[in-house]
Amino acid sequence: MNKTKRKIFETSMRLFAEKGYDATSIEEITATVGVAKGTLYYHFSSKEEIFNFLVDEGMKLLKNSISIKTANINNSIDKLRAIVLIQIKILFKYENFITIILSQIWGNDERSNLCKKYVFEYIQMIEEIVKVGIKREEIVNRDSDIISSGIFGFTCSSYIYKMRHDKEDVKKIFEEVDNSFLKKLQA
């Protein structure tokens, strides 16, 4: 991604997170970036395309990070631990992205459906690991969908902790999620 496109991308992400998608105009994006509308339209055909690109790129980053970190881990609980740690780190490093995803998921419009699609695909990745763990008797035999949705939700709640306390204590949050949730999944 070239420098101008990256700046449009990052500025749009920040503005969407701070003000919301609907309250952010193309004019505001171009003024903040310092480019003409034509330059923005050279890189993106619409505000909707910027949003879609932003969500797509962010979810690719999350999924790729998880695929790489879990590829050589055999135990399902250890894979889930790696996922939780990565998700917490990404929550804190890419706050604007997470704010957009979590704020847009609660509706039935096109943007909400796109965010739901990606979140559900991500939860499905977790669920596949849970199913394998149940089959191998590494994880308690419970509802894999509830467990995987719970892991996602429990981990997302660490962002609320960060907002309440203005702390980015990844290690502490990870240990709490591990002790409060993941260890209880072990068969």
**Model confidence over 83-93: pLDDT tens digits?**
999 999 888 88
For residues 24 and 54, the answer to whether their CB atoms sit within 8 Å is no
- Domain containing residue 39: CATH number: 1.10.10.60
Question: Cβ of 144: how many Cβ atoms within 10 Å?
Answer: 19
* Domain assignment of residue 108, given as a range: 53-185
The number of C-alpha atoms within 13 Å of 93 and in the hemisphere containing its C-beta is: 10
CA distance linking residue 12 with residue 10, whole number of Å? 5
CA distance linking residue 97 with residue 91, whole number of Å? 8
Of all residues in the chain, what percent carry a pLDDT higher than 90? 63
**Model confidence over 93-137: pLDDT tens digits?**
888 888 899 889 988 999 999 999 999 999 999 999 999 999 999
CA distance linking residue 142 with residue 17, whole number of Å? 36
Amino acid at site 162: K
For residues 17 and 96, the answer to whether their CB atoms sit within 8 Å is yes
CA distance linking residue 90 with residue 3, whole number of Å? 22
Do 59 and 38 share a structural domain? no
Do 174 and 139 share a structural domain? yes
Confidence label for 166 from pLDDT (cuts 50, 70 and 90): confident
CA distance linking residue 141 with residue 49, whole number of Å? 42
Give the mean pLDDT of the chain.
91
9 phi and psi, to 5 degrees? Answer: -60, -55
User: Quick one: how far is CA 157 from the chain centroid?
Assistant: 12
* 43-64: average pLDDT: 91
* 39-45: average pLDDT: 92
Number of structural domains the chain divides into = 2
Do 38 and 117 share a structural domain? no
Do 129 and 74 share a structural domain? yes
Do 93 and 11 share a structural domain? no
Question: Which pLDDT score is estimated for 139?
Answer: 96
Question: Which pLDDT score is estimated for 74?
Answer: 94
Question: Which pLDDT score is estimated for 113?
Answer: 95
Q: What count of residues does the chain have?
A: 187
CA distance linking residue 48 with residue 71, whole number of Å? 34
Task: Quote the pTM value.
Answer: 0.87
Do 177 and 93 share a structural domain? yes
Do 71 and 7 share a structural domain? no
The number of C-alpha atoms within 13 Å of 141 and in the hemisphere containing its C-beta is: 3
Do 60 and 41 share a structural domain? no
Do 25 and 117 share a structural domain? no
- Domain containing residue 57: CATH number: 1.10.357.10
- Using CB atoms within 10 A of its CB, is residue 62 exposed (0-12), middle (13-18) or buried (19+)? buried
Do 129 and 94 share a structural domain? yes
Do 97 and 57 share a structural domain? yes
Residues 6+ away with beta carbon under 8 Å from 131: 144
Which residue, chain included where needed, has tokens 């700046």?
Answer: 7
pLDDT higher than 80, residue 168: no
Do 157 and 81 share a structural domain? yes
